[in-house]
Amino acid sequence: MQDVSAAVLCEGLTKHFGAVRAVDDLSFTVELGEVVGFLGPNGAGKTTTIRVLLDLIRPTRGRVEVLGCDPRRGSAELRRRIGYVAGDLAMYNRLTGHELLSFLGALRGNANLQPARDLAARLDVPLDRPVGTLSRGNRQKIGLVQAFAHQPDLLVLDEPTSGLDPVSQRTFRVLVREATARGAAVLLSSHVLSEVQRVADRVAIVRAGRLVTIEPMRDLEAKALRVIEIRFGGPVDVAAFANVPGVRSVDIEGDLLRASVAGPVDALVKAAARFTVDSISGHEADLEDVFLAYYSEATGAAA
Give alpha helix (H) positions in the chain.
46-53, 76-80, 97-107, 114-123, 136-148, 166-181, 193-199, 217-223, 266-272, 287-302
Closest CA to 209 of 9, 2, 17: 17
Q: Which pLDDT score is estimated for 291?
A: 73
Q: pLDDT tens digit string along 20-32?
A: 999 999 999 999 9
- For the chain, list the domains and their CATH numbers: 6-220 (3.40.50.300), 225-284 (3.30.70)
Q: Which pLDDT score is estimated for 187?
A: 98
No. of H helices and E strands in the chain? 10, 13
Q: Which pLDDT score is estimated for 296?
A: 62
Which whole-number Å values give the CA distances from 206 to 45, 47, 189, in the listed order?
A: 7, 11, 11
pTM: 0.80
Regions of the chain short of the pLDDT cut 50 = 1-3, 303
Q: What is the CB neighbour count within 10 angstroms for residue 173?
A: 14
Do residues 72 and 55 touch, judged by C-beta distance below 8 A? yes
Q: Which pLDDT score is estimated for 297?
A: 59
Q: pLDDT tens digit string along 209-258?
A: 999 999 999 888 777 678 899 999 999 999 999 889 988 888 899 999 99
Q: Which pLDDT score is estimated for 295?
A: 67
Question: 155 forms bridges with which residues in the sheet?
Answer: 83, 186
Cα distance between residue 259 and residue 140, in whole Å: 43
